[in-house]
Amino acid sequence: MQVRYWGRSCAGGQAFGNRVDNAIRIQKSATSCARADPLITVFLEDSQTYDGGEPTVETTFGVHQVKLPVGHAVLYPSSSLHRVEPSPAEMAQQINRAAEAVRVEDRHMLDTARAALDRSAGQIDRVVKRGQGADRQIERQILARCRAVRDLAWTAT
């Protein structure tokens, strides 16, 4: 038996989505082809300490997640829908990245709101100081509320 193609490793929590592999592999020289009807996954690390994703194969008999001891292998047709599920560590990293993206977006939104409130408060303050408003009491209340909201935005970050 001659090995013609090595698949990519998914160690360290990596994953890849659903796929069906091509049964015909074209060689780099492009003058020959090799059949790759059966796919094999060989487990090279202890299943208790391996932190990579689990191979999952979907067949007519259902969905099968596979995690075997060192040296064991699973053989399945290349036409089977298969994927590598993300490990729990990878899922936690994805959740943290998503949460951080939201926090960054929230910070940007708060900074924008804070800047707008600063501009508004400054304009209202100038109007009140000049005495151009019809009712100074209302203008002072509006200014106090703008400052309170601005201060709240500052403490939220």
Given 51, 86, 121, which residue is the final one in a domain?
86
Task: Please provide the average confidence, as pLDDT, over all residues in the chain.
Answer: 71
| Poorest-pLDDT segment among 49-58, 78-87, 103-112 | 103-112
Same domain, 104 and 152: yes
pLDDT tens-place string over residues 54-97: 888 888 888 888 888 888 888 888 788 888 877 766 667 767 77
Same domain, 95 and 74: no
- For residue 4, tell me if it sits in a domain: no
Q: pLDDT class for 24, splitting at 50, 70, 90?
A: low
Q: Could you give phi then psi for residue 44, rounded to 5 degrees?
A: -100, -10
Q: pLDDT class for 22, splitting at 50, 70, 90?
A: low
- Looking at residue 4, its pLDDT comes to 46
Neighbouring CB atoms inside 10 A of 146's CB total: 20
Give the residue numbers spanning the domain of 37: 16-86
The CATH number linked to 58 is 2.60.120.620
Same domain, 119 and 99: yes
CA 66 to chain centre: 24
Residue 16 has pLDDT above 80, yes or no: no
Same domain, 23 and 74: yes
- For residue 116, tell me if it sits in a domain: yes
- For residue 27, tell me if it sits in a domain: yes
- For residue 1, tell me if it sits in a domain: no
Same domain, 101 and 143: yes
Mean pLDDT of 96-117: 73
What's the domain count of the chain? Answer: 2
Q: Which of 84, 75, 83, 82 is nearest to 51 (CA)?
A: 84
